[in-house]
Structure 1
């Protein structure tokens, strides 16, 4: 197994792409440190990992809080001695709304998790990886970080920021044995995307344009997990600063 003896930290591990990737990385031999704000779903993912013969721990954390990010990084190092893979995945979606009706509190909520959370995770994990002289970081961006989606400009800006972090840090650490890449999903069948339909039904606002799922379906989170596994492994040894679209042709 390609990731045997590797220690992988996954944020947003309690559901969706995070859970699927946790199971995939553990299945490839990695020992996993699962991080999520939701204790119940995070521990459920850990149970699933152990049921398939994997090993790991769960750490509850709000990724937008500096001390809680330091805590999950410290727990990983205290327990396992190193961090080889960091799937910096935790994120939230914006409520669809016209630009001028977005509340400042909504802006702050999106930026705290999607931007600050990614920044803090990278900041503390990179310190560990630089000392090791190796590591792979995968940041979850979005197709909305490559091109905008209608009525979610703040979300789009947050994911553009993730791509900016990815490229900027990849440039800094390219000669230090650390690879940093961004994963850009399109529509994925998760609780987050399911909530969008509910927003349309109950919120009374529907965007003028809705993206075309060109393959006629959303992705299964397991399909994204395959790319996470690839980017985490030595198969992607010459990739850094890459923005990888796994979107079923959504951006075409």
Structure 2
């Protein structure tokens, strides 16, 4: 009989988590490291990723910091190459880094803002996934987890372009799952709801707005970054071996709220 506890074990696996110097990305990276994975902490700032990597090492986990602006092709390539050089390959890619530089009606956004959002939120995860493909093939499989948002499934207010980019990420993931399943590679999407991070501060720092949102949620509260980590551990491990092409909400019930 196989052990469920053992099926969550990630020892010997190598994981890259983009945007992992803080917030949801850091919580995910920590959970994967706790489960035994060698983790690459990545964000734009080298000092920030080094700090997190040191913190993890002190806790007894294996981690290294590699700075990468995912909107830049050369830096994407370098992130993957350095990881393979240092750790021998890649088994898990968590495309978490994203931007939302605008809040307001879709008709007010500049064309350059649209391009920037699509570059970082859609093109970069596509390119990074393509870059890890050969290593995952060599290793007999892998897991790609794209972090989207409930905004990909339900239009909110003032986040139109961000929502559009995340909806595109959903379909990208489904195509990855369909095309790459033959190589033992799985691809899934996690859609967080309102989580207490710097990224979403504009929403939760507005007391009235926060109360309004929380009143509609079955859980009656916003989520915390570490509450996104469990589903990613499942999707990264053998425990989730039959899960691919799926879209998983971790939203406190936002999608069923009235």
Question: What TM-score do you get using the length of structure 1 for normalisation?
Answer: 0.91
Q: Deviations over 1:182-240 (max 9, x none)?
A: 11100111110114456x79xxxx9xx96844422111111101111111010000000
Listed as ranges, the gaps of 5+ residues in structure 2 are 1-5
Listed as ranges, the gaps of 5+ residues in structure 1 are none
1:96 to 88, 103, 108: 103
Residue of structure 1 equivalent to 2:75: 68
Q: Residue 194 in 1 paired to residue 198 in 2?
A: no
2:36 to 17, 23, 29: 29
Q: Residue 55 in 1 paired to residue 59 in 2?
A: no
1:184 to 191, 195, 198: 191
1:245 to 243, 249, 255: 249
> In 2, Cα distance between the equivalents of 1:244 and 1:94?
25
Residue of structure 2 equivalent to 1:220: 224
1:227-238 equivalent positions in 2, closer than 5 A:
227-238=231-242
Alignment check: 8 A CA contact 1:10 1:18 kept: yes
> In 1, Cα distance between the equivalents of 2:222 and 2:101?
19
Residue of structure 1 equivalent to 2:3: none
SS in 2 for 1:180: strand
Residue of structure 2 equivalent to 1:167: 174
CA RMSD for the aligned pairs? 1.9
| Alpha-carbon offset, residue 131 of structure 1 | 2.6
Alignment check: 8 A CA contact 1:150 1:210 kept: no
SS in 2 for 1:20: helix
- 16-25 vs 103-112, greater mean Cα deviation: 103-112
| Alpha-carbon offset, residue 40 of structure 1 | 2.9
Q: Residue 125 in 1 paired to residue 132 in 2?
A: yes
SS in 2 for 1:40: helix
Alignment check: 8 A CA contact 2:196 2:204 kept: no
Aligned length: 245
Question: What TM-score do you get using the length of structure 2 for normalisation?
Answer: 0.89
